[in-house]
Structure 1
Amino acid sequence: MNTDEIAATHRTVVIEGCDGAGKSTLATRLAREYGFTVVHCPRTPDSVGLPQRYQELLARPGHLVLDRSFLSELAYGPLYRGGSRITWTEARTLAKSVINRDGAFLHLTASAEVIQTRLLNRDTQAPPLARSTLSWPPTRRSSRPSRSPFPSSPSTRPTTHLPRADDNPQSPSGPRAFSVSSGTGRPTRAGGTVDIRSAQKLAWDNKLDKGFNTTDVPLEFGLLTAEIGEAFTAWRKHHPDFGEELADVFLYLAAIAEMNGLDLQTEVQRKITKNRDRVYARNEHGVPVRITETAED
């Protein structure tokens, strides 16, 4: 199965595999060449309800590609945190939702040597090769069947294991920058106006390309605070780059939203509607006070 076949036959693509296997590269290619919207799914705060979050993601319109998913929680939760925040029953339900959305599950693999080299190039650190060889890929297939979260109905689509076409750690992934047309949220090769959703995706792709922070939410909030300070200084001193500093503030907000699996455009639209429906009146001090509540308040 190649990317043309994936894009032609599936409206939803869930990509799994260990770090360095090429998940983000494939997701970016599906977005750039076939109009998929990429949703990166890093580790989320414990307060986030994962089953509900993934159901909301799968309810989005259009073509979606998930860079990691609830399957990662089933694997890494017990391995690193002592337990999964998603049950097998919930995983089966989510798998059915993917299938009902014309979905496919892709599992990317690469040799231990390639994985280690890619991680060193990207993160400047990687587990020792001996450890990588023991854990990925297995040297032989176990005769013991693995437990699968997928429903066993006849309509179930099997997981496809895809080795990288270029098993070369130095192979370039190609340009990822592209313009986005507003309205549909689907990328185009040139021209167009960038909307909030498209800007969030482009900003995230740039962070991946440059190797910037994509996992440390507190750090990102700290950097956002610094950018707000720079924007204030630019405004106070009438610097010509005031608009650019405001843009930096937005891009950090977009990054925080992406880290937490939020579509910032949807959140902004919802908040604007909520604020519009509120009614205010001035009190005896001339301060606007809300006098009506929305259903969500």
Structure 2
Amino acid sequence: MSRRRKAWMRDVNGILLLDKPEGLSSNHALQRVRRLYSAAKAGHTGSLDPLATGMLPVCFGPSTKLSHYLLDADKQYTVGVAVGQRTSTGDAEGGVVAHSDARPPRERMESALAGFIGPVQQIPPMHSAVHHQGRRLYEIAREGGEVERAARTVTIHALEILDWSPERFTLRVRCSKGTYVRTLVEDLAASVGTEAHVARLHRDAVSPFPGDALRTMAEIEAAAEQGAEALDALLLPPSAALADWPGVALDAARAFYLSRGEAVRVASAPSAGRVAIYGPGDVLLALGEINADGMVAPRRMMQTAAP
């Protein structure tokens, strides 16, 4: 049975770059924002732990069709690292499970960073949302259990120490999807003979969005007091999520045929690969690809009819 649309709901389309506050789960933050927008449909892309802050893209309406692609995006984090203790969760929320008196100098830590650039193997932490036999790992961990986990390959694009003290330092991380920063911190500490955990975590950016477009919960609440127009002014268009995709512009006739699911020929289109397809007025019509015949073929419609 489909959900009945509530009277207070409205159609919203766009992407909000929420600066998630500390202490809220990603889902709780999403639901709060959805209520402020009175949105009929909304979803977030890529969870942040309750203790983490920073960029949580929230997609409304047709923009939720882009969520899958944003989950695959690269991320950038600023990480506060506490040296000397490893915790059960890898962050400040867990209990201490290991101590070390070793405090490697900055030069040694910086030398170790080079060994973590590029493809690396990570074992997902028990306190993660990875599934095991139909259950989340964190559910098993909360019951005191532990299971064997297979290593996964992730890519670390860049690591940089921003400030330093022997007890605590700040690390900037740019990485691929699926990277566990908590695991990275533990593995980095182990490589120099000590223990560490994440003391604070801020997600600076999710590709391809700019880091300076974050909206705080206070900003959104203030806009809600002014009404729907002020709220919608905080949104990015769906096309913002496709800034790194090749774009194909269609005239009205080709847009009509494409809206019916038909492939169309466009002289200026790329020769292969995925494309963002725009109609008259730069309206995002569909996500598509160049098919074997060199034609622009829709794969996911962003609106049901040509403008």
Which structure dedicates a bigger proportion of its chain to helix? 1
TM-score, normalised via structure 1 length: 0.25
Which structure dedicates a bigger proportion of its chain to strand? 2
TM-score, normalised via structure 2 length: 0.24
